[in-house]
Structure 1
């Protein structure tokens, strides 16, 4: 395409105006730099919503950023949008095959950037539209699915990270193997299954159940298209569905004038992980173990199930006769199995010809699942049911008073269970043994679900970021019950790894001291590894002592309190705890300060332990921490004379 064919129908420069087009006050099209990046991108964002950072809903040149503000967007004949850099090189184009002699570019009120025929104002037949090429966000009215005639596949792909909108590891697609279903995929592996088409409607885990408008959600399946879309809320509020860089799908509503409110998050829990339990097994977060075989089935490899490896699933306890004597057994309250092996049915009736996988308990499921069973198995079921009815009659006739007592006891237990559940609502979803001081398994340390963490930190928002160390970034968050937390998220590029991660859990899970930071729990889910601590609002010691202005806020009394607190914490680690612990990384940034400026020693990733009888080794290793504390004191925490005096006291 020759650049001299470019016409001035739509032309604007990044350096001249940040906003190119405004759509009725709802959306803007312009150039932006995401997060901490200096790269420039052409994108669409909400105009009326005022937050600390723009809420981007679409990016044109997400794979090829501009390196400066020389970008120009224009239209080339016969109707192609072109983004050009400072050397007239084409960075991005709409590259449509449709043509028009009078192309006009327009940003619609829906947030859809279109090119249409300027001579036909009433036509909805666009030459090109951004809604056909979504990024990580699905907007009301935007189709998600495939055109069966042209092959156009409309799917979501996550950003690489908050600073980089290029396609990340996760995609949300409609799969057409078997009956259509929505899948979140990482590379070539299905992570979780959102919803399936059963011939009459969409069932499954649902942002698709986003009941925020009269029309709600539509799933269209005809000879030309297979797609899903949701309508704009009746309230007129902005709504969007986003696949974030961690592979989590979230539905948002704008809670004017405050902030985005997360309406739905998927996955909800560990059972949403695709095929966690294998074939003919059910996932249920309310029981232990999480995976159990369907009735009439047994574990294929019992030894694996004993160590919580359920991937091989279950097999029939009684083989089928494969004749007319076989029948069907009814199961209720199940999530519809993976429709990959489904090749028939219609109007709400599906047929599977293979193993049933990815099934979990769903209380409000509207579907019954009938699984073929051997005649002898069905006979056993009938006998059990008959025996059960007889026992019920005897119990009802002779046990009125005991039953009444059991009802009362059940009510009491239910109340207690609700209290326990409320206290332990965050102890779900991650799989890893907790480790106490002796290296033994300990189930008292809470595990946090990744979904709860994402909600608490607003999806690891830069606004919630407290800082970054060798371990990775640290975020501030608020749990549903209002408790504030500090979250350390292991970075992929971190010099520390799983060893240091486990080491920190092992060493401080059971340590209880006023001058040690309190570990509230941890989360390991997929590639995410996080430690959750109590939040200390006054940041770390280096925030004060290495700043000329803030250092003046530390009075002599505060400094003495901080020094004494560090010393007491080290004394506990070196002498009073059951295992003698050498921190090995004492520095100002690892001393946190609570609301009353009391010091809390943190970051035990480099720490080492010694048993109580290893006195000689302890004496040598203790010097490591003492030397570091002495250096810290000599820097700026104390005056020089007082510092030397305190250092001698600590060493002695």
Structure 2
């Protein structure tokens, strides 16, 4: 026996009889934790012990959730030094260090505390923190060592991501290499200690994602981390420490943030006790614009634009060639050069993720006025912004080119960029005129709106409208607080539609007809007129007005206003000249106009619109009636999701709902919704999956029926997929224009969206990433609703579509069980 084995065997013999009992949270220098034994936090939340990840046979010391059925490891001690047998032993040595031993490897891992300590103990806290402390000292500030200072791939509530400047400790996350190997991968995240600190994720040695610096309320480029009802972010920036930390508002909520090496994403999860799984509530990067320096110097990335890279006002592309590709962009240059000696000025840009802070300077005691003056004095200063947007105080300056700028749809902050004096807005008297004119105009418009509201209300009352047909004043006021909805006069709408002429009728929805109209100024509109006998009552009407008025996205139909006079209720939308998607893809002649690039563009646009509804808008919105006839096409064939009469909105901490009144279109509904009335964002994902198959095949899900096996389009696609013949699903009209591998990937993504169980389906943000990349896709499980009960005639909706241009609802009402 060699000396190492002899020493290890003797150590085992000495402490074997003093090993800990399962279930305790503390052990002393006379005790140990061997493979097969565990340490459990006081309230049974976390457990420490030895484990083998995935299919690996290697043994690691780690911490995981004790009460969760899905074993989720949040910290690993010996990440890069696995034990290849079951002789692992955790103990406290004579110097007070925590040491991990094994028979074959000797010392596998240790804490390396330099100063000695009397009566050391090790404790696993209910926060998930493993600490080494003196027996009689419970002060977290004097822990001798703690696992929270040496994170693996996971950040828990209360953990600090960043620096202790007194000791030089840098707390960073690093992803597991894969599910079988917890050793550090090349995807890492931490705080960069520039003058203006920033949270950065790296892919190998290169910057990959940047949140933008903390501005007093949030990180300027990460709207998903803004204040919400689930968690609260904080950023500490002082002489001793610089770090980010988050806490959950509901202490019973189980939450974790982790790095995913396979997806190269930072993902925030909460535990869904009802479903028995982890639910991802946000992630980064969410879109192409989150990737570092996507658009080059002075380029602003706008995720809703094509191409996404746009030059800031006052700048132009560096190259006359179209270099705004997915992989390379040379950036922008000034229209007019700076002339510092003769005096420059600044243009204010609103709602941006501020540039990379590598070459920045900060003074947090300055006012914004002093900040501007400081930048103006230095000809190398290119931009400035307040460091605290709550009071407009503090000063951050940038030197050199400004890179990694992004337009943030709902957030961001103001950035003042140095420009030639001739590019700057008018000064002096012009500013005074503007300052006076705008408030007066706003006052006049507000007065007109109030008078219009009073007249409309008076007319409705004078006509004896029933009580339940009158919009409650509080609801109207609540809607106006969040949006400006134009109120159209009935006479104006009647004139625009030629007295609702049959020649102007675009289609017939479940809630009433839709008419084309032209306003006095020549603007074309689409008017959805609520019929008295329709299923959509005042509640649904108010719901649609309130919801759509708050939504602004290029892939959502735009509400121009409404008309409410007596029993007349109408919605006025932008007119879509190319009608709806089903007008093209289900008709042989017109479908030729939609080649594969156009269809793929439509799939991507609908996906981006759903991402906005599900996570980027101020409310989480579930559409509940997504289908081809509710996807409108503008004059450039850009898709716009319409018809929000059946939509449901939720607060930031809600993800699903239940109803006894199932509405929508059978054939597009998810199984859990159609059968049990349970709906969530994953219900829309299911509907999107059907839409993808319809766009690719040119066939309706319920219009397709195989009498031999009773399969609908979903079942047919699934059979072809299993037989590795998925390309046979492709519309024959696409064969000349399509990229077979791209279409096959589309079918694959569609089937992932159609999986039977909602927890198996991807969220729409993941779908967008799948559509825009070549990452490996997981294998889909069996879809829901493979069979038709009978051969359908055409479609099972409760309405017939002619040539819809806007919100014609098709709905079926089922009684929930």
TM-score (norm 2): 0.51
Compute the displacement of 1:295 (Å).
1.1
Match of 1:370 in 2: 416
Kindly indicate whether the alpha-carbon contact (under 8 Å) linking 2:133 and 2:144 is maintained by their aligned counterparts in 1.
yes
Structure 2 residue 301 is the aligned partner of structure 1 residue 301: no
Structure 2 residue 271 is the aligned partner of structure 1 residue 254: yes
Compute the displacement of 1:124 (Å).
4.6
SS in 2 for 1:482: helix
Give the 3 Å change call, closer, same or farther, for CA 353–519 of structure 1 in structure 2. Answer: closer
Instruction: Quote the RMSD (CA, aligned, Å).
Output: 4.5
Match of 2:59 in 1: 40
The whole-number CA distance in structure 2 between the counterparts of 1:165 and 1:263 is: 24
Matches within 5 A, 1:276-315: 276-305=294-323, 310-315=328-333
Give the 3 Å change call, closer, same or farther, for CA 164–485 of structure 1 in structure 2. Answer: farther
The whole-number CA distance in structure 1 between the counterparts of 2:337 and 2:118 is: 69
Structure 2 residue 500 is the aligned partner of structure 1 residue 482: no
Structure 2 residue 149 is the aligned partner of structure 1 residue 31: no
Structure 1 portions without partners, runs of 5+: 423-439, 456-476, 487-502, 539-593, 597-652
SS in 2 for 1:344: strand
Matches within 5 A, 1:78-117: 78-87=95-104, 89-117=106-134
Compute the displacement of 1:380 (Å).
8.6
Matches within 5 A, 1:89-238: 89-121=106-138, 124-198=141-215, 202-205=219-222, 208-209=225-226, 211-212=228-229, 216-238=232-254
Compute the displacement of 1:520 (Å).
2.1
Kindly indicate whether the alpha-carbon contact (under 8 Å) linking 1:520 and 1:533 is maintained by their aligned counterparts in 2.
no
Matches within 5 A, 1:440-479: 442-445=597-600, 446=603
Kindly indicate whether the alpha-carbon contact (under 8 Å) linking 2:33 and 2:49 is maintained by their aligned counterparts in 1.
no
SS in 1 for 2:321: helix
Compute the displacement of 1:41 (Å).
0.9
Match of 1:628 in 2: none
Compute the displacement of 1:86 (Å).
2.5
The whole-number CA distance in structure 1 between the counterparts of 2:43 and 2:246 is: 21
The whole-number CA distance in structure 2 between the counterparts of 1:60 and 1:178 is: 33
Which stretch of the first structure deviates more once superposed, 38-47 or 300-309? 300-309
The whole-number CA distance in structure 2 between the counterparts of 1:133 and 1:260 is: 24
SS in 2 for 1:288: coil
Give the 3 Å change call, closer, same or farther, for CA 97–209 of structure 1 in structure 2. Answer: farther
Matches within 5 A, 1:391-406: 402-403=520-521, 405-406=523-524
For these two proteins, the number of residue pairs brought into alignment is 473
Kindly indicate whether the alpha-carbon contact (under 8 Å) linking 1:46 and 1:55 is maintained by their aligned counterparts in 2.
yes
Structure 2 portions without partners, runs of 5+: 19-27, 365-386, 389-394, 446-495, 497-517, 528-557, 561-571, 583-594, 616-680, 691-723, 735-742, 750-768, 789-817
SS in 2 for 1:203: coil
Compute the displacement of 1:381 (Å).
11
The whole-number CA distance in structure 1 between the counterparts of 2:292 and 2:220 is: 16
Deviation track 1:33-68 (CA, whole Å, cap 9, x = no partner) reads 1111111111111112122xx011111111111112
Kindly indicate whether the alpha-carbon contact (under 8 Å) linking 2:347 and 2:425 is maintained by their aligned counterparts in 1.
no
Compute the displacement of 1:265 (Å).
1.2
Give the 3 Å change call, closer, same or farther, for CA 116–359 of structure 1 in structure 2. Answer: same
Deviation track 1:571-629 (CA, whole Å, cap 9, x = no partner) reads xxxxxxxxxxxxxxxxxxxxxxx779xxxxxxxxxxxxxxxxxxxxxxxxxxxxxxxxx
Compute the displacement of 1:274 (Å).
0.8
The whole-number CA distance in structure 1 between the counterparts of 2:316 and 2:428 is: 20
Give the 3 Å change call, closer, same or farther, for CA 518–39 of structure 1 in structure 2. Answer: closer
The equivalent position to 2:69 in structure 1, one of 22, 47, 50, is 50
Kindly indicate whether the alpha-carbon contact (under 8 Å) linking 1:297 and 1:314 is maintained by their aligned counterparts in 2.
yes
Compute the displacement of 1:159 (Å).
0.6
Kindly indicate whether the alpha-carbon contact (under 8 Å) linking 1:112 and 1:131 is maintained by their aligned counterparts in 2.
yes
**Using CA pairs below 8 Å that are at least 6 residues apart, which structure has the higher relative contact order?**
2
Kindly indicate whether the alpha-carbon contact (under 8 Å) linking 1:136 and 1:158 is maintained by their aligned counterparts in 2.
yes
Match of 2:754 in 1: none
